[in-house]
Amino acid sequence: MREIQFREALREAMNEEMRRDERVFLLGEEVAEYNGAYKVSQGMLAEFGPRRVIDTPIAELGFAGIAVGAAMNGLRPICEFMTFNFSLVAIDQVINAAAKMNSMSAGQFTCPMVFRGPTGSAGQLGAQHSQNFENWYANTPGLKVVVPSNPADAKGLLKSAIRDENPVIFMESEQMYGNKGVVPEEEYLIPIGVADVVKSGSDVTLVSFGKMMLRAHAAVEELEKEGISVELIDLRTVRPIDYDTVINSVRKTNRLVILEEAWPLASISSELSFMVQKRAFDYLDAPIHRITSQDVPLPYAPTLVDAYLPSVAKVVEAVKAVSYRL
């Protein structure tokens, strides 16, 4: 197998699905002539032409509505937001149209479409361009929410998302577009809603997803030096959540730490903590710990950005806190 960048894996997924199915098309700001704001769609205009790779005005509500209407009428759009911060302008179309159309039409209409783009902090971009909305969208029945952490998962999950009959929110990190990883050359799909046990362990279960998996990996390496065996799980998707994989792990390790980038209130870690204590309370030998971003708008100063975000040190500290009886 070869190593390719995260952006290249996404591009391969879109190219393969567009060659496979002429109903699939891409629209968004700068996706065509400029080859994508992060060069994810580089070369796609040349191959598929302006009818299937479409530059839009800076009008998220408008082009999201066009995408929803296209999906209702038999096409399969990929609607790219330059950042999911801008999806707030289009959120009525996502929440009140795409997510509810199948239910409100009694199954007469479906919305097989993907809303994709970067999420979360990307350095000094300020409070309005550095937010995580995974938990917002995961709160909405009718949507599926995918947050991949590596190029191989990104490709396999995006292909599954494009083929899904439901609207899928597909969230990437612009800090990961240049990251490289091993990606199979042959055709493959990764099913939505199945977590990945990245590393087996016996002492503590550590659960994360998306960009935070990089810090989880680094924390696991530090903890292993001190003799703490961590079972690391990548959720991959946050709606639906693969509760069974997490709970089965907790029944083995008896301890749980959850790492995510979003704010703490009503987060994915809140939901996961509830379900684990509901279904595996008797197996827990320590309180569940979680690490999130600080509960404030993201500051601009680089020192404050570091203080705001989850860190490897905070993960190590949390794992040690639940491991005090080892």
What positions carry a catalytic annotation? Answer: 60, 129
In whole angstroms, give the CA distance from residue 12 to residue 288.
39
Structure tokens at 129: 């361009």
DSSP H helical segments within the chain, as ranges? 6-20, 44-48, 60-72, 91-92, 101-104, 134-138, 151-163, 212-225, 243-253, 268-280, 302-308, 312-322
CA angle 61, 64, 66 (to 5 degrees): 110
3-class secondary-structure state, position 18: helix
Residues 26, 48: Cα–Cα separation, whole Å: 10
Helix (H) or strand (E) holding 171: strand 168-172
Token pair for 119: 């999420």
Distance of alpha carbon 166 from alpha carbon 40, whole angstroms:
23
Q: Which residues have CB under 8 Å from 254's CB, separation 6+?
A: 283, 284, 285, 286
Q: Are 268 and 135 in contact (CB under 8 A)?
A: yes
Under 8 Å between Cβ of 134 and 210: yes
103-to-100, 108, 166, 193 alpha-carbon distances in Å: 5, 9, 11, 21
